[in-house]
């Protein structure tokens, strides 16, 4: 069954590491944007009922509750199998939690990133570890026990000791799902742009080197596994039965529709992307569509999963040389009919997976993964 992704790009502040199409925008844009989003949903012919819903951004946990109810009323299928709300710590209130549950939200993803105060401050976030602990308690008390906590390996000033502290908090809070991302360095974030320029703002000169980032990630894999939280995708870990059902659709090439600025869709053998900017989205009516490439894309997204994929005869024929080379290099392994990345292959996954794409479609394919709010 298909899923629905909805983008709310508005934030109270722009985090230094964030490279998404979100930020602090003029307040008068918000009702115009939400009205356009409602029109987009109302004008959709629903040949099926969505199984999952995912609110990303941005900081959708700041969305006015009357708008959340209105927008959910425009979608069929409630109660959905899973409906996720991305949230920034410090934005949860009892009123919001109650309204989220009543409108169909079943899962909350908290963008914690770190439990260490110095690291948190350098990202632009304003929460504390104690605030996160309290919000996790209140989420559970409100019946929203399906929750994810995000961490980023590679934040400015991060050390082995501080990373251990964040992982100790994860063990104490015992969430059913954890996401661990390596810091992305590119021109789309303030921190990334500063690092590329060789500057020092935002703690750019204190960002751990690539070797330490990898070490932190591997430490997280080991610690989470010991807690019973197993890796099921390169950046995602869950207790059995608590995997993100919506995000599995991206990695298994199941259909989904995206609503809002910069949202992507994949359905009917086609991919398309809504305009990235808010003002452009307000004027856009029919984004251009491109044909999907299932054979190449299945390797690119499917091999991110710990379960791997079972290549077809045609796929073995088309990618056989690459597959055998990666197996020989210890980056892929074959277990019966299933192909998957090795532990070393996961660390070099960008190089491996890119080889299976015949175009520069990586951005379009992976933009709608589970995102840091």
Residue pLDDT, tens place only, 100-110: 999 999 999 99
Determine the Cα–Cα distance for residues 11 and 28; give it in Å rounded to an integer. 14
Q: What pLDDT band is residue 366 in, cutting at 50, 70 and 90?
A: very low
Residue 13 has pLDDT above 80, yes or no: yes
Q: Fold identical between 3-250 and 294-357? A: no
Residue 373 is predicted with a pLDDT of 31
Highest-scoring range by mean pLDDT, 97-101, 204-208, 290-294: 97-101
Domain boundaries, the chain: 3-250, 294-357
Residue 372 has pLDDT above 70, yes or no: no
Where is average pLDDT lowest: 129-138, 174-183, 264-273, 364-373?
Answer: 364-373
> Are the beta carbons of 10 and 57 closer than 8 angstroms?
yes
Q: What pLDDT band is residue 2 in, cutting at 50, 70 and 90?
A: very high
Cis ω before 79 (30° cut-off from 0): yes
The arithmetic mean of pLDDT across residues 114-121, rounded, is 96
- Backbone CA torsion sign across 74, 78, 82, 87: positive
Where is average pLDDT lowest: 154-163, 175-184, 274-283, 285-294?
Answer: 285-294
As a whole number, the mean pLDDT across the chain is 93
- 213-225 residue pLDDT tens: 999 999 999 999 9
Residue 296 is predicted with a pLDDT of 75
CATH superfamily of this structure's domain 3-250: Aldolase class I (3.20.20.70)
Distance of CA 356 to the CA centre of its chain: 22
Which of 43-77 are b and which e, b meaning 16 or more Cβ less than 10 Å from the residue's Cβ?
eeeeeeebbbbbbbbbbbbbbeeebbebbbebbeb
Residues 6+ apart with CB under 8 A from 365: 271, 297, 300, 301, 357
Q: What pLDDT band is residue 358 in, cutting at 50, 70 and 90?
A: low
Best CA proximity match to 273, nearest among 361, 354, 358: 361
**CATH topology for 294-357?**
Arc Repressor Mutant, subunit A (1.10.10)
What is residue 147's three-state secondary structure?
Answer: strand
The arithmetic mean of pLDDT across residues 247-259, rounded, is 95
- Of all residues in the chain, the percent with pLDDT exceeding 70 is 96
Q: What pLDDT band is residue 349 in, cutting at 50, 70 and 90?
A: very high
Q: What pLDDT band is residue 361 in, cutting at 50, 70 and 90?
A: very low
Residue 318 is predicted with a pLDDT of 86
Residue 84 has pLDDT above 90, yes or no: yes
Largest separation between any pair of C-alpha atoms in the chain = 58
The arithmetic mean of pLDDT across residues 338-345, rounded, is 96
The arithmetic mean of pLDDT across residues 227-236, rounded, is 98
CB atoms within 10 A of CB 94: 10
- Of all residues in the chain, the percent with pLDDT exceeding 90 is 83
With a threshold of 0.75, does the pTM exceed it?
A: yes
Residue 66 has pLDDT above 60, yes or no: yes
């Amino acid at each position: 069954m298909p899923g629905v992704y909805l983008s709310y790009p508005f934030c109270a502040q722009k985090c230094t590491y964030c490279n998404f199409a979100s930020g602090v925008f003029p307040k008068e844009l918000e009702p115009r944007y939400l009205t356009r989003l409602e029109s987009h949903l109302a004008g959709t012919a629903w040949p099926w009922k969505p199984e999952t819903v995912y609110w990303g951004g941005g900081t959708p946990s700041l969305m006015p509750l009357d708008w959340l109810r209105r927008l959910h009323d425009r979608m069929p299928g409630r109660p959905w199998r899973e409906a996720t709300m991305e949230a920034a710590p410090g934005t949860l209130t009892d009123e919001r939690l109650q309204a989220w549950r009543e409108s169909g939200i079943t899962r909350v993803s908290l963008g914690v990133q770190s439990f260490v105060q110095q690291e948190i401050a350098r990202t632009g976030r304003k929460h504390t570890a104690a605030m996160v602990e309290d919000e996790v308690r209140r989420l559970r008390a409100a019946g929203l026990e399906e929750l994810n906590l995000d961490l980023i390996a590679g934040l400015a000033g991060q050390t082995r000791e501080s990373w251990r502290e964040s992982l100790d908090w994860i063990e104490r809070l015992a969430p059913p799902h954890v996401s661990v991302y390596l810091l992305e360095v590119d021109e789309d974030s303030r921190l990334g742009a500063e690092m590329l320029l060789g500057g020092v703002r935002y703690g750019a000169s204190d960002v751990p080197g690539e070797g330490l980032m990898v070490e932190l990630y591997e430490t997280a894999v080991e610690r989470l596994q010991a807690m019973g939280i197993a890796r099921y995708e390169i950046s995602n870990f869950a207790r059995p039965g608590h995997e993100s059902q919506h995000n599995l659709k991206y990695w298994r090439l199941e259909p989904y529709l995206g609503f809002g600025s910069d949202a992507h869709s994949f359905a009917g053998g086609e991919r398309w992307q809504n305009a990235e900017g808010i003002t452009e989205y307000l004027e856009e009516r029919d984004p251009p569509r491109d044909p999907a490439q299932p054979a190449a894309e299945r390797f690119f997204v499917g091999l991110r999963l710990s379960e791997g994929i079972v290549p077809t005869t045609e796929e073995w024929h088309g990618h056989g040389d690459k597959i055998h080379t990666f197996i020989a290099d210890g980056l892929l392994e074959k277990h019966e009919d299933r192909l998957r990345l090795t532990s070393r292959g996961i660390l070099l996954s960008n190089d491996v997976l890119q080889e299976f794409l015949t175009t520069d479609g990586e951005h379009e394919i992976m933009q709608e993964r589970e995102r840091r709010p």
